[in-house]
Every structure is written in C-alpha cells, then in structure tokens.
Amino acid sequence: MNPLIRALLCASLLQLTPLANAEQTAEQAAAPVEGATAPAPEAPSATETLADSAVPAPEVVEAAPAAPAGPVAQVQPPRAWGHSVGDLLTQRVLLAIDGRATGLPRLPDPGRIGVWLERRPARLDTDTDGRRWLVLDYQLINAPQTLTAITVPAFELRTDDGPLQVPAWTFSAAPLTPRTAFAGNGLDALQPDRGAPAVDTAPLRHRLLLWSGLTGALLLAWGGWLVWRNVRSARAQPFAQAQRTLRGLKDDAPEAWQALHRAFDRTAGASLQPASLHRLFERAPHFAPLRADIERFYADSAARFFGDGGAAAGSPRALVRTLARIERRHES
C-alpha cells in the first residue's frame, strides 16, 4: 500500500475515535436509571403555544408623517373651476406667523411652474385692515384636451421670522374645444368649405372700358397734336422751310444761299446785313451759340455775291440743319 494512503487512513481513524466516545457518553447520561420514574414533560405555556403556532409575518414599518417645517400660511386661492388657457389665477398669501405680521426679504421669483402654469412677478398688497398680503399670479399657458385637475405645488416662503409653508391647491382646467364634436345633423368635426360669395363685376367692367376708352382717346389726341405740330413747324418756321427747300439743292446753288437769307430775315423781322446781325440775336437769343457760324455765312455770302465770285467755303445745308434743330427745340 502506498505510504501516503496509509498515513491518510490513520489520520481519519484518529479523528473518528474521540467523536464515537463522546456520543456514547452522552447516551449513557441521558438514559434513565432503572426503577426511576421519568419526569413528565412540562406542558407548553399558552404564550409559547401561540408563538409556535403563529405563522411569521413580514415586518411592516409605517413611516411617521413628516412634521411641518414651519407654520402654514393663510391663503386665499381663486375659484377652483371654470378655467381655460390664458386665464390668470391670483393667489393671496397672508404674511403673518402665529398672528404676528412678518415681512419678506425677497419676493418669489417668476418663472415656469410645471407644464401648465407660469408665475408672474409677485407683488405686495395691503388690505383695509392693514394686513400685508403676498399676491401671486399664475397664468394657464397650455390647453388640456379633456377636463383636467391641475395642482399648484406647495412651497416655502423665507420670511423675516422663519419659514412659512404655502400649501398646494388644485383647480380644474377645461379644453378650448372638445376632441370630438357632435355626430350627425351637420355638427361633425370637419365641415366642408363654404363657397365664396359671387361678386358682381359688371360695374367694374364698365368703368374699366370707360377709362380705357378715355386713355386711348387721350393718347390719340396727343399723338395727333405731335404730328400736327411737326407739320405746322415744317410749314411755318423759317429754318424748317429753308431746310425743306435745300433738300433738292446743292451747296453752291444760289437758291440755297438765298433761302437761308430769307430764313434769317423772317426770324429777325427785318432784312439783315452783316452790320445788323445784332437784331437777330436780340430777337432769337437761342441762336447766340452759333454767332460765329452765322457771321461766317454772311461773310461768305458777301464774297460770293458781291466779291470776286469765288466758291464759298461754308455749307448752307449743314448750317440750316443745326438752326432748324435749335428752332424746333425753342418753339413757343
């Protein structure tokens, strides 16, 4: 046999021998002596019997209600029904602790209160009895889909004399419209579009035709006047007539120079000579910018008709064209 296994067996026998001896001694001590009367077992008490027969129940610990952190304020809330989105609900809180007036070092901050309300800036008010009230305005900013109870949470005011508890209060808010309208009798939720009323456009058409006719007549009259003016100017104005005469003549033709002389005479209202040209510019000052060209024309004309008969350097056609344009521009 393996020496290791033999050693393990010996150790096991050594451990079991004391345990067996201890059990035998205990049985001899517990066995009754021969001839002796064994004492009757004691009857269990009623308390032990109830305790043993009772089924153990889980331990229930009730949380004691938290003591208020301070006195509760006297509050005048608004009515608790008949509100809808946009309404302003005013809550008044009496600033007094145990019947003694107190003050606020700081007013409550405005802001959003949950989903439904927004608190406006707070203010202080004094009633006829001299009592001071904190006035809080809450505006309902959302519209519920059904009749809903909304609770304004409680909060604590930090007064000059300690905390003052403002309790929560609840009110009901109604929707603007029901989710479903009445069925039947034309009272369904979706109504057909109502046709736009027809407008009588006959008076408008008549006025449009009238003003269109008047506008057309005015344009025709204006165009006719322009044509008549141009025709009249071509026939009546001196340089326009001279220009029309020069169309079939050459620059060296005597008739061309004579036609331009007659135009100068008609414009000045007298027969002009080089020494009397000042009359032309006195009666028609708009020709003054062409004074040098007009004096050169008279000098060339004198040389042509009363000189050696040489060819004139000037061009009556170009000069009459410029004079007619100025004449037409300054027509009265």
Q: Is 71 exposed, middle or buried (0-12, 13-18, 19+ CB in 10 A)?
A: middle
Helix axes 238-246, 254-268, angle to 10 degrees: 170
Q: Alpha helix (H) ranges present in 74-148?
A: none
DSSP for 264-326 reads HHHHHTS---GGGTHHHHHH-GGGGGGHHHHHHHHHHHHHHHHSS-PPPSS-HHHHHHHHHHH
Q: What contacts 103, CB < 8 A, 6 or more positions away? A: 95, 132, 159, 160
List beta partners, residue 171.
150
Q: With contact defined as beta carbons under 8 Å apart, do 69 and 164 qualify?
A: no
- Residues contacting 96, CB < 8 A, separation 6+: 73, 74, 102, 131
- d(CA 34, CA 39) in angstroms, rounded, equals 14
Q: Which amino acid is at 298?
A: Y
Q: How far apart are CA 325 and CA 26, in angstroms?
A: 157
The answer to whether 217 and 210 are in contact (CB under 8 A) is: no
Tens digits of pLDDT across the chain (332 residues): 455 566 566 555 555 454 445 445 444 444 444 434 434 444 444 334 333 433 343 333 344 445 456 799 999 999 999 899 999 999 999 999 998 999 999 999 999 999 999 999 999 999 999 999 999 999 999 999 899 999 999 999 999 999 999 999 999 999 987 766 666 666 666 667 888 888 899 999 999 999 999 999 999 999 999 888 777 766 778 888 888 888 888 878 888 888 888 989 888 888 888 888 888 888 888 988 988 999 888 888 888 887 765 555 678 888 888 988 888 887 75
Angle between helices 202-236 and 238-246 (to 10 degrees): 70
Q: Is the pTM here over 0.75, yes or no?
A: no
149 in Cβ contact with 55 (< 8 Å): no
